[in-house]
């Protein structure tokens, strides 16, 4: 059980860093959709991990970071499985069956998944009312999606559900590890661990007709490689480590609405104006989880 108290300054910094991370992650699903419309989901997953991994390796070498200790390797592997491979691959496969707007809805369950893994792996024990606000916030997000009547695909839904579970595990493991290894170091080493697999696969799955990929496809690939796979995690893991996994993790409740706005703007996917009312409700739930986190 966690006994050390998080200072007020750390808590505020945690929420700020966490919010920046959420903003950057919000473009992930629309950007992934742009990429998988022109490239295979498997190649998109491999390429984003390989590009981000090489960037992470360069940063680690420039700053001469020491290698992780043996006891940190297993948690790093879990981060790699959850955030570098699992979520990107499963969500990219799901987007073959779903619109990005539909897939984004599942991200409303990420706070619960992160909080649950935070309790079991991070030793956090939030107040019971915390869970009430967390569940209500998740139900608001899911309820909003159902009210929109978005056509569903059982295969796509199952893939997104599994993706959310793995992502929650990766978030919680990374946040716990960030307290000793550092936020950007965690995602960097997790990416580097995957490089020996991703680099050879990059050449094996390299598209035969890469010249046909449009600017939009490359833009989507660039975004998820740089911001979704690396830069966003720097802020996110730092925020989770500073403010608490379960607490700051609730900011993810806002991610679906930022993402839906981006999907409507860039992909012209239909999003109801009722999103505004639900967004207010979600913000109140986030405020409630912050108040009763301890």
- For the segment 57-92, what is each residue's pLDDT rounded down to a tens digit? 999 999 999 899 999 999 999 999 999 999 999 999
Q: What letter does residue 7 receive in the DSSP assignment?
A: P
- Amino acid 232: pLDDT: 94
pLDDT number for residue 167 = 94
pLDDT value of position 114:
84
Provide the token pair at 66: 């020491």
Domain range annotation of the chain: 8-205+212-291
Is the per-residue pLDDT at 289 higher than 80?
no
Rounded to whole angstroms, the Cα distance separating 253 from 233 reads: 17
With a cut of 50, say whether residue 210 has pLDDT above it: yes
CB 242 within 8 A of CB 248: yes
Identify the pLDDT of residue 258.
86
How confident is the model at residue 3, as a pLDDT? Answer: 43
**Length of the chain, please?**
294
Q: How confident is the model at residue 265 (pLDDT cuts 50, 70, 90)?
A: confident
The residues, any chain, with a CB within 8 Å of residue 90's CB and separated by 6 or more, are: 159, 160, 162, 163, 166
Residue 131 is encoded by which pair of tokens? 């869970």
State mean pLDDT over 269-273. 66
pLDDT at 48 exceeding the cut of 70: yes
Tokens 């607490």 found at: 247
Contact 107, 164 (CB under 8 A): yes
Q: How far apart are the first and last CA of the chain?
A: 12
How many helices (H) and strands (E) in the chain? 15, 0
Which among 83, 275, 224 is positioned nearest to 166, based on CA atoms?
83
**Residue 207 backbone zone (phi > 0: left; psi -120 to 50: alpha; other: beta):** beta
Query: Residue 177's closest CA among 41, 80, 277, 254?
Result: 80
C-alpha to C-alpha distance for 166 and 144, rounded to whole angstroms: 24
Place 277 in a pLDDT band, splitting at 50, 70 and 90. Answer: confident
Flag whether pLDDT at 28 surpasses 90. Answer: yes
In terms of phi and psi (left: phi > 0; alpha: psi -120 to 50; beta: otherwise), the region of 276 is: alpha
Average pLDDT over residues 183-188: 91
Local structure of 9: helix, strand or coil = helix
Tell me the mean pLDDT in the region 128-132: 85
Mean pLDDT, range 236-261, rounded to an integer = 84
Count CA atoms within 13 Å of residue 189 on its CB side: 24
Structure tokens that stand for 224 in this block: 């998820």
Q: What is the CB-side half-sphere exposure of residue 246 using CA atoms within 13 A?
A: 29
pLDDT tens digits for 215-243? 999 999 999 999 999 999 999 998 988 88
Kindly give the residue spans of alpha helices, DSSP state H, lying in 95-231.
100-106, 110-122, 128-147, 154-181, 183-204, 215-223
pLDDT at 151: 52
Is the pLDDT reported for residue 287 higher than 90?
no
CA distance 286 to 253: 7
Listing DSSP states for 154-189 in one string gives HHHHHHHHHHHHHHHHHHHHHHHHHHHH-HHHHHHH
Whole-prediction pTM: 0.82
């Amino acid at each position: 059980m966690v006994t050390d108290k998080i200072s007020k300054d750390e808590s505020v910094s945690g929420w700020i860093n966490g919010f920046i991370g959420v903003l950057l992650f919000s473009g992930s699903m629309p950007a992934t959709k742009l990429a998988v419309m022109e490239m295979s989901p498997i190649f998109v997953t491999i390429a984003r991990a390989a590009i981000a991994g090489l960037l992470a390796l360069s940063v680690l070498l420039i700053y001469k970071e020491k290698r992780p200790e043996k006891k940190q390797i297993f948690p790093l592997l879990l981060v790699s499985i959850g955030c570098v491979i699992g979520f990107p691959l499963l969500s990219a496969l799901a987007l073959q069956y779903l619109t990005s707007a539909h897939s984004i809805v599942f991200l409303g369950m990420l706070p619960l998944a992160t909080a649950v893994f935070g309790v079991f792996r991070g030793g956090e024990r939030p107040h019971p009312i915390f869970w009430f606000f967390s569940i209500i916030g998740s139900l608001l997000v899911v309820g909003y999606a159902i009210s929109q009547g978005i056509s569903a695909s059982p295969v796509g839904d199952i893939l997104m559900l599994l993706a959310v579970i793995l992502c929650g595990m990766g978030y919680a493991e990374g946040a716990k590890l960030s307290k000793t290894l550092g936020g950007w170091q965690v995602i960097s080493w997790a990416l580097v661990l995957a490089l020996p697999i991703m680099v050879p696969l990059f050449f094996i799955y390299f598209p035969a007709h890469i010249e046909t990929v449009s600017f939009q496809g490359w833009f989507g690939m660039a975004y998820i490689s740089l911001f979704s796979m690396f830069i966003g995690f720097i802020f996110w893991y730092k925020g989770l480590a500073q403010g608490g996994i379960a607490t700051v993790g609730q900011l993810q409740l806002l991610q679906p609405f930022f993402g839906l706005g981006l999907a409507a703007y860039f992909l012209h996917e239909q999003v109801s104006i009722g999103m505004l009312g639900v967004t207010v409700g979600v913000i109140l739930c986030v405020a409630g989880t912050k108040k009763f986190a301890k």
